[in-house]
Structure 1
Amino acid sequence: MLSSITSRKEWVFFATLWRSHPWLTATWWALILLQGVLPAVFVVAVGVLVGALADGAPIRTPLILIGAVFVLMQLLTPLHSQVGSLLGEHASDRLHDRLLVAAGAPEGVAHLENREHMDELTAARDFDLGMSGPPLHLSMGIIAGGLVEAVAGLAQAAVLAAYAWWAPLLVGGAWLSTHWLLRESTQWDRNTGEVLDAQRRAEYSYRLAVDSPAAKEIRLFGLANWLTDRFASDRRTLVELRWQATRLRQKPMRWMVLVLVVSGGLFFWSLGRDAATGAIDLGQVSTFAYAAVGASALAFGGLNWALSLAAEGVMSVLRVERTMSSTAAARAVVSGRTPAEGMPAAEIRFRDVTFVYPGMSSPVLDGLDLTIPAGGSLAVVGVNGAGKSTLVKLLCRLYDPVSGTIEVDGTDLRDLDLESWRRRISAIFQDFIRYELPLKDNVAPLGATPEEVLEALATAGAAGLRDLQTVLSPGYENGTDLSGGQWQRIALARVMCAVRQGAGVVVLDEPTAQLDVRGEAEVFDRVLEATEGCTTILISHRFSTVRRADRICVVDQGRVVELGSHDELMALKGTYARLFELQAARFNEEQDGSDDAA
């Protein structure tokens, strides 16, 4: 029995409040009880005043009592609102801290690319953003209002016990019975895939409207009205899903009306009869009549819809924590113990590596064999979807192979200490991060001397950026934004800075896609010079850059189909030669067109 109570989401929610800030939680509950009792005290005081007036007795004491209760009722409401808001903010901050730790704890990224896990993360992340209900600091006031109503209804029903033992049972029970209707008509399942999809689409539409990266296209193509309509449609869908779930649970109200009419009629008939016979005086009639009406608060008080939504948000965070530590652990990246300092000294070898992304049936890598000599440069080319970026993810141990092994100097990569291995790797990915932070923190987030940062910028071709304290976002005072090419050079500078701090493996996944051909060639020559002695792996679609690598690997359908130097592969006249000639012909056509135009 006790376990079934403590496992309820409402219990978990209130326990979370207590753990987030015990003192504020205790104050919040004390104010709920005090605010709930005061209306009953007010009703009794008014009854005493009426009785005193009828009997010609002094009225100073009941007037003072009424005044004191009235003032307290006016003061406690804003005070309770402020306490609840602070408590909600504390709880929200604590939950988001836990969510951040939970999402960042697994060393791999499978949990962030899994649909079921993303649904949980969406619900947990958005519970306090107003996407599915009021933010927690506002919900606390609504939750408190329901609880105050419940206490007020119970307290005034208890006053009726002074009239007759059956009165609170009759009147209070009738009002409490309405909760069957209210509970059924306000519940809905916010965690269905359909609801979460609608929530995700609404959020995405909103972010397109308010985030600057999409602003150019939205305005250029005249998409403002289209985007507004889309957001309104997505939000309408979310509201309709909620409404449908509520409407389908409604029950007929006629029985509730009948119960209330019968119970109220019996009580007031009895009260009127006793007043007519003189069994109770005028003050008592006033007290019991007001208390009976005040007991109606029971119908509207209690655990309301805001509590349901807030509690579900808390449960989502807790489920994410469990998911990150259990479900994701089935494919978790587990650290070994062998230190990776100085590796690779000889080679990195992919031995019969097969990999399938979670939820997919066909492998991305299928028995791939590849040896990468240490200290040299290898370019990986292939059509989109061939498995090039997946190879990089496995090397960085963001995933582990489904079968086969990746060996570094003969040691299984899974046996290496993960933190030690990642210190040996420096990488730029296609979707590199643009940190809204000062330039120095973009180049060296974990710290470096100003000289090291400036050298890294110069190597990456961004020597013109020298104010290391400039925030790279126009949203901040004296902040600035950069072109796509400048951002890419900063991402490369991040790699170069890591190399200077000890990284021995450099991964460049489409590192210069936003630079022109000449800029790319210039930057890559600088990178090769700066990373001499490192093991450099380049993924690029531009063969003018690829040909500069010591060796070139052609990947197709998850396997290595060609491997050699540029000259060797051109002589082979296979896939690489065909792709190179196709791109070279296109480049020459573009050059001829430019010359003719000139």
Structure 2
Amino acid sequence: MHRVPSPDTEEVVRPGRINPPALLKARREWVFFGTLWKSHPGLTALWWALILLQGVLPAGFVVAVGALVGAIADSAPLVPPLVLIGTVFVLMQLLTPLHTQVGSLLGEHVSDRLHHRLLVAAGAPEGVAHLENRAHMDELAAARDFDLGMTGPPLHLSMGFIAGGLVEAVSGLAQAVVLAAYAWWAPLLVGGAWLSTHWLLRESTRWDRHTGEVLDAQRRAEYSYRLAVDSPAAKEIRLFGLASWLTDRFASERRTLVELRWHTTRLRQRPMRWAVVVLTVSGGLFFWSLGRDAASGAVDLGQVSTFAYAAVGAGALAFGGLNWALSLAADGVASVLRVERTMSSSAEARSVVSGGAPAEGMPAAEIRFRDVTFAYPGMSAPVLDGLDLTVPAGSSLAVVGGNGAGKSTLVKLLCRLYDPVSGTIEVDGTDLRDLDLESWRRRISAVFQDFIRYELSLADNVAAPGATPEEVLEALAAAGAADLRDLDRVLSPGYENGTDLSGGQWQRVALARVLCSVSTGAGVVVLDEPTAQLDVRGEAEVFDRVLEATRGCTTVLISHRFSTVRRADRICVVDRGRVVELGSHDELMALGGAYKRLFQLQAARFDDDQDGADSAG
């Protein structure tokens, strides 16, 4: 599989020319080991030093045992070889747990560094299209999950497996070198035979984790797992008896991952047979020669012991080296670096269409959507199709329409989470793309239909940058949440002294977030279903408070509740991505079109509900 070089190590490899240094640096293993060094040079140097020391010790042990056997055979003093054996043995016992701890710490440092880079990369593009692009989502899934244990051990555990493979390789090499004391050809014959297994069986464990099929299976397994262990779905899972179904589903999807790995692992019988032949012939030749020389007295008993153990120990060359754990860890690192490069290019592309004009004080006259067309990535049909709309500065506009009409898309474009495919959005006659993005977003405050419930303190949930505690409390009072005054209380029952809120309270907190931003300079307010979780009385009360607190702001409201909508200065009816009606509540009722039909339908349903409640009472 072609591997994309890391941006940290990328070099140009021109077609038709072989550039060994560039090819080496492009390998994922090189990138991985380079990432270790950049994450913590001290721990990395210690980790490598322990690999070398642990790898050499078995060869030292073999030599010491041979010396002991020779001393016994020759009736020589036993203390020196015994001391050597004891010293090597103690070091082997002590270095293993030490190496495990060093590797675990190094893995944590690497993980922290990569997660930090991933967060920075994912947040670099100013819009959200990159997070909804299928190709980008696959890369993000692979990068995000590299350390979660979904497709391999977490990095702090992988470091132990990787170190174990490298220690085995050094150990095998060191013991092969010991054989040079017997004959110059011995390390080449024995060591070369064991090394050949890496080439003969090179296809036996190759698995591409980045195919769409694998990533889809991984994403489904992760989703089932999170549904089962996270609290938001807990009520429905228990109410509908879905626990067993969800467990079986997760097990099935994890089994799919295992099967995909099994089927894409190419284990060939012929290479296996060749490996057995090579090892049998090489081992047979060496031990035949060693036995012949032992019989003739060319080597003594201690040397026979040393060389025999060393020949067997050289087998570590076959099992050591760049193992499966390194492959998985290197894939994860490469995924993070690819995401970093992809997000960087997305950010650069976005910066091309972002101007530098300040947005302070805007809009002073109007916001205008001029022939705006927009389609989401991967969709052929446009959501907005030549939409024209003018919002006078300082006024309130309600946007209504059926599901999929383009209401929420309109406000996403206004917030510059996306840009139009064609047409322009103008603020006081200036194309929105010509305004400095940060400056414009400081002028906007929004509560979205799927607003976030931050598991942070009440103050952190409400406070805009630069807001004082007094402004936070005023915003809460204006949103009808004056009873929430403990700004340091964490809004999650998972923390000590933490608490949870009802749906209506959370909605008031989200509205307070908007009002707090208004107090610190926002002049455009976007309300996407701002009172969906409030009852009718609470809705009317809160919306009147919001309108009062945002007086003088340009407000865009999206709501299905016409009791709220009718309070706006003007109402816009959107259908199939176009404005079909525009006017005040009274004007649209007099027009007798789509708005009147929708209003009367909702009013009739409300009257029926109210009559039913009165009868029940």
Q: If the length of structure 1 is used for normalisation, what is the TM-score?
A: 0.98
CA distance in 1, matches of 2:464, 2:105: 33
CA distance in 1, matches of 2:257, 2:387: 45
Residues 1:351 and 2:370 aligned together: yes
Which has the larger displacement, 174-183 or 511-520?
174-183
Q: Which amino acid is the alignment partner of residue 241 of structure 1?
A: L
Which has the larger displacement, 18-27 or 58-67?
58-67
Match of 1:61 among 80, 92, 97: 80
Q: Secondary structure at the match of 1:185?
A: coil
Please name the residue that 1:474 is paired with: 493
Q: Which amino acid is the alignment partner of residue 151 of structure 1?
A: V
CA distance in 1, matches of 2:202, 2:393: 67
CA distance in 2, matches of 1:554, 1:523: 23
Match of 2:171 among 149, 152, 170: 152
Change in CA separation of 1:287 and 1:315 when aligned onto 2, cut-off 3 Å: same
Conserved 8 A contact 1:108-1:333: no
Match of 1:434 among 448, 453, 458: 453
Q: If the length of structure 2 is used for normalisation, what is the TM-score?
A: 0.95
Residues 1:405 and 2:424 aligned together: yes
CA distance in 1, matches of 2:26, 2:149: 26
Q: CA deviation at 1:463?
A: 1.1
Q: CA deviation at 1:113?
A: 0.9
Q: Which amino acid is the alignment partner of residue 430 of structure 1?
A: Q
Please name the residue that 2:125 is paired with: 106
Pairs within 5 Å for 1:174-573: 174-247=193-266, 252-327=271-346, 329-330=348-349, 334-444=353-463, 446-573=465-592
Residues 1:115 and 2:115 aligned together: no
Conserved 8 A contact 2:124-2:347: no
Q: Secondary structure at the match of 1:244?
A: helix
Conserved 8 A contact 1:333-1:398: no
Change in CA separation of 1:334 and 1:249 when aligned onto 2, cut-off 3 Å: farther
Change in CA separation of 1:433 and 1:502 when aligned onto 2, cut-off 3 Å: same
Change in CA separation of 1:209 and 1:141 when aligned onto 2, cut-off 3 Å: same
Please name the residue that 1:40 is paired with: 59
Q: CA deviation at 1:249?
A: 6.0
CA distance in 1, matches of 2:582, 2:510: 29
Q: CA deviation at 1:45?
A: 1.1
Q: Which amino acid is the alignment partner of residue 510 of structure 1?
A: E
Report Cα offsets for 1:422-448 as digits up to 9, x if no partner: 111000001101000011110115352
Q: CA deviation at 1:458?
A: 1.0
Q: Secondary structure at the match of 1:91?
A: helix
Q: Secondary structure at the match of 1:549?
A: coil
Please name the residue that 2:608 is paired with: 589
Conserved 8 A contact 1:406-1:412: yes
Structure 2 residue ranges without an equivalent (≥5): 1-19
CA distance in 2, matches of 1:447, 1:476: 26
Q: Secondary structure at the match of 2:202?
A: helix
Q: CA deviation at 1:454?
A: 1.1
Change in CA separation of 1:181 and 1:225 when aligned onto 2, cut-off 3 Å: farther
Conserved 8 A contact 2:365-2:392: yes
Report Cα offsets for 1:53-98 as digits up to 9, x if no partner: 1111112211111111111111110111111011000011000010
Q: CA deviation at 1:261?
A: 1.2
Q: Which amino acid is the alignment partner of residue 123 of structure 2?
A: G
Q: CA deviation at 1:218?
A: 0.6
CA distance in 2, matches of 1:445, 1:31: 50
CA distance in 2, matches of 1:263, 1:215: 62
Residues 1:72 and 2:91 aligned together: yes
Q: Secondary structure at the match of 2:334?
A: helix
Q: Which amino acid is the alignment partner of residue 358 of structure 2?
A: P
Q: Secondary structure at the match of 2:372?
A: strand
Please name the residue that 1:129 is paired with: 148
Report Cα offsets for 1:452-478 as digits up to 9, x if no partner: 111111111111111111100000001
Which has the larger displacement, 512-521 or 150-159?
512-521
Q: Which amino acid is the alignment partner of residue 498 of structure 2?
A: G
Q: Secondary structure at the match of 1:545?
A: helix
Which has the larger displacement, 321-330 or 342-351?
321-330
Report Cα offsets for 1:251-305 as digits up to 9, x if no partner: 5522211211111111111100000001111111001000000001011000000
CA distance in 2, matches of 1:582, 1:445: 39
Q: Secondary structure at the match of 1:253?
A: helix
CA distance in 1, matches of 2:353, 2:500: 39
Report Cα offsets for 1:561-593 as digits up to 9, x if no partner: 110001111111111111111111111111111
Report Cα offsets for 1:159-218 as digits up to 9, x if no partner: 111111111111111111111354322220001111111111111111111111111111
Q: Which amino acid is the alignment partner of residue 236 of structure 2?
A: E
Q: Which amino acid is the alignment partner of residue 556 of structure 2?
A: I
CA distance in 1, matches of 2:269, 2:44: 34
Identity across matched positions, percent: 86
Report Cα offsets for 1:541-576 as digits up to 9, x if no partner: 111110110000011111111100011111111111
Conserved 8 A contact 1:439-1:469: yes
Q: Secondary structure at the match of 1:213?
A: coil
Conserved 8 A contact 2:397-2:557: yes
RMSD of aligned residue pairs (Cα, Å): 1.2
CA distance in 2, matches of 1:493, 1:536: 15
CA distance in 1, matches of 2:242, 2:22: 54
CA distance in 1, matches of 2:227, 2:515: 33
Match of 2:157 among 123, 127, 138: 138
Residues 1:166 and 2:189 aligned together: no
Structure 1 residue ranges without an equivalent (≥5): none
Q: CA deviation at 1:316?
A: 0.3
CA distance in 1, matches of 2:140, 2:597: 45
CA distance in 2, matches of 1:445, 1:144: 48
CA distance in 2, matches of 1:275, 1:189: 50
Q: CA deviation at 1:25?
A: 0.5
CA distance in 1, matches of 2:380, 2:348: 20
Report Cα offsets for 1:119-171 as digits up to 9, x if no partner: 11111010001011000000000000000000000110111111111111111
Q: Which amino acid is the alignment partner of residue 396 of structure 1?
A: C
CA distance in 1, matches of 2:347, 2:594: 39
CA distance in 2, matches of 1:249, 1:92: 35
Q: Secondary structure at the match of 2:249?
A: helix
